[in-house]
Amino acid sequence: MLTALLNGEKVISTDERYEECKEEFRRICNANAICPICRESIICKFGPIMIHHFAHRHNSDCPGNHETIEHMLGKKLLYDFLHDRYGDKGKVELEYQHTAGMITDVFICVGEGANWAVDFYCGGVSQKQVEEKIEFYKENNIVSNWLISSNRFNQQNDYLKIKSPDNLFIHNTGIDKCYIGDWYQKIVELRMKRSLPKDYESIGSLMYLDVENEQLNIIRAISSGKRCNTLHTYRRMVSGKLDDVIITPPKKWGIVWYFEKEKVLGNRYRKAEKILEELNQEYEKDKRMREQEQRAREEKLRIREQEEQKRRAANQKRHSEVGTSKPNEYNHDYHRADSSSSSGWGENLPNPLAGEFKCKICGRIFTFKDMSSIKLDERLGKCRECSRNGY
């Protein structure tokens, strides 16, 4: 571990102030320093190779006595990074102990109730212990970020293998949706009316810390495993130096870690939202115009049908009057067609064209001269009026 209690005050083994008086500091700590967790006496491990740290004098079950070098280096790296960023804004503590055994690697308090925990996971801790710490943070309204050792990154072909408890650290940051699909090209460049990706289309990000190179690798837009609970797909791995990381204040998505080069995604998303709104307005405008044109066509058709009905009614009335008139008063051709002396059919043969015919379209009665076609044996046909009207 990196911290100890000396005369009631926390001291950090890697504090640069002790470099010039290392031997004196070692002598004082070995005589008086105690473990902040179990309160047993501890000694300084200030060798030339390993990171300066404290250790128990004898084998102990204390959690602080079973740390890996990577974990201590990672905590030191994160502490220095966060202290430089937030040391003037609040209190930044290394190995902060909430309760017995409940320790946060780096704890930041930047205001009343604004507590933030940053932990570096290298393994060696059971899933139950991790779940208990996550639940503790939730119950005490502590925003948390977890970084995982890069040694635990396991890619198999196109899949990322995530075992427990690493899958507990997947955090939906809101920026992940920007990596899903070709929405920018379709909406902004091609002006196609397409939906923007949603937050729930990915389950979030994982952050892997490479302590040796001081590099952070963020796995973006992880999808849930469908065929296997441990195999997941992801859209992009974004990498950069830890010092280049930008951290947002806690808002909708909590505290988000991202790189400068990812800023363009937010601008693109907002631009796509604006253009999509314009496309929706254009679509609604075109829709209203189409509806107006359709109503105009329907109104024109309705007026035409009314006029046609009036015309048919007038024709039917006129033909009814003609069909009920007396032959000897109004239709001299009828007498001529019915007269055997002028028909040319002879005195004993009746004229088949004489008499009345019924129009099978309008149902009215006509003589032969008012029919355009007839069936002699059925005395049916089509009147000239209906033929002119296209029936």
Per-residue pLDDT of the chain (391 residues; tens, 9 = 90+): 888 888 888 888 888 877 778 888 888 888 888 888 888 888 888 877 778 888 887 777 787 777 899 999 999 999 999 999 999 888 999 999 998 789 999 999 877 667 999 999 999 889 999 999 999 999 999 999 999 999 999 998 889 999 889 999 998 888 999 999 999 999 999 999 999 999 888 999 999 999 999 999 999 999 987 667 889 999 999 999 999 999 987 766 678 999 999 999 999 999 999 999 999 999 999 999 999 999 999 999 999 999 989 988 888 888 887 665 555 544 444 444 444 444 455 556 677 788 888 888 888 888 888 888 888 888 889 888 888 887 7
Locate 343 and state its tokens: 């028909």
Q: What is the pLDDT of residue 60?
A: 76
3-state per-residue secondary structure call for the chain: CCEEEECCEEEECCCHHHCCCHHHHHHHHHHHCECCCCCCEEEEECCCCCCCEEEECCCCCCHHHCCCHHHHHHHHHHHHHHHHHHCCCCEEEEEEEEECCEEEEEEEECCCCCEEEEEEECCCCCHHHHHHHHHHHHHCCEEEEEEEEHHHCCEECCEEECCCCHHHHCECCCCHHHHCCCHHHHHHHCCCCCCCCCHHHCCEEEEEEECCCCEEEEEEEECCCCCCCCEECCCEEEEEEHHHEEECCCECCECCEEEHHHHHHHHHHHHHHHHHHHHHHHHHHHHHHHHHHHHHHHHHHHHHHHHHHHHHHHHHHHHHHHHCCCHHHHCHHHHHHHCHHHHCCCCCCCCCCCCCEEECCCCCEECHHHEEEEECCCCEEEEHHHHHCCC
The whole-model pTM stands at 0.72
